[in-house]
A and B are shown apart, each in its own frame.
Chain A
Amino acid sequence: MHEVGIAQSILTIVEKEADKSGASNVKRVKLIVGEFTGVVKESLEFALDIVKKNTSAQNAEFIIETVKLKTYCQECDKTFIGKDDAHFLCPDCSGILGIVEGKELKIEFIDVE
């Protein structure tokens, strides 16, 4: 349940960016959240609803794109996407898989006026 803290970090960055551009109202915020983080989408949405009050993003719509875990075997040059189990051994060569996607916690863009 650290989504409240994450939401606060998001609002800090969003307000700073809006301020820099001289905007008074943030309409949309696009977030990228990897599935292989401790952040739960629904909890983050809930936290953002609370934290955005009395900020320039109070009416903003937060769009959260989740990114599936994507792993890669260097040995076999093969990519594995979105399996239910987080499995970090290559099914073909038993090598260790690296994470390519799924650890993201990013703000992509904001839409202001």
Chain B
Amino acid sequence: MHIIDVNSQILKENSRLAEENKKLFAKYDLHVTNFMSAPGAGKTTVLEETIKRISSKYKISVIEGDLRTSIDSERIEALNIPSYQITTGTVCHLDARMIHNALHDFKLEGSDLLFIENVGNLVCPADFELGEDLKAMVFSVVEGAEKPKKYPVMFHSVEVVLLNKIDLIPYSGVSLEELISNVKEVNPSAKIFPISCRTGEGIDEWIDWFIGKINSK
């Protein structure tokens, strides 16, 4: 019997690859955003609305993560934006290696911004660094005001929370005030934008903040 003091981070390999990704992004002078949310909260729609408003000023590339299909990637390509689809099979999140491998095929030279859409999942993606500059979360307000308290880890891990689908609030009975106060409780320093991709409400505010963020890098 012999005890070995391992004292090792379980995700150290992921952290190492995330650092490598970061170096590569820095080499291309790219600003990278990781968009996370539960399935269907509106990540792809937020990307579309954001792209439509800023693609004349910035050259954008997108990496899409999904369990299956390249539907989201096709939606992005329809806007004439280069997009690379990662299909993860059964894996419920993107990790640094998947991004690393994607970068072998997907050329980022000349891009200013990279948007990464993570796999729709409210828990797992938050544990995996990708080498990004900014973590953003999209949350569909109709899912309920208590969700930040039930799933605090992802809410806590991001710098900005987009509370999407506020056009549906009148039909949902959800209190936006209560939701915002719960997000603040779990992440007091988060920037919070109530938005609707349907009506366009709040999108300009999000974009102004985001552009400020890019410029301050």
Binding site for B on A (CB under 8 A): 1-2, 5-6, 9-10, 12-14, 17-18, 21, 23, 27, 31, 36-39, 85-89, 96, 105-113
Contact = CB atoms under 8 A, between A and B. Distances in A.
Contacts of B185: 85-89
B156 A2 contact: no
A88 B182 CA distance: 11
B127 A105 contact: yes
B139 to A, nearest CB: 16
Interface of B: 1-14, 91-93, 95, 123-124, 126-128, 149, 152-154, 156, 184-189
Given A6-B10, A88-B188, A107-B10, A38 B2 contact: no
| Majority DSSP secondary structure for residues of B touching A | mixed
Nearest to A1: B92
Given A21-B4, A111-B4, 6 more contacts: A27-B1, A31-B10, A86-B185, A87-B185, A89-B184, A109-B3
12 contacts: A2-B127, A5-B91, A13-B12, A14-B6, A36-B152, A38-B154, A89-B184, A96-B189, A107-B10, A108-B6, A109-B3, A110-B4
A37 B6 contact: no
Chain A CB within 10 Å, residue with most, of B8, B13, B128: B8
B7 A107 contact: yes
Contact of A13 (B6, B123, B153): B6
A5 B121 CA distance: 15
Nearest to A35: B153
A80 to B, nearest CB: 13
A67 to B, nearest CB: 13
A105 B184 CA distance: 26
Contacts of B11: 6, 9, 105
A5 B2 contact: no
B6 A109 contact: yes
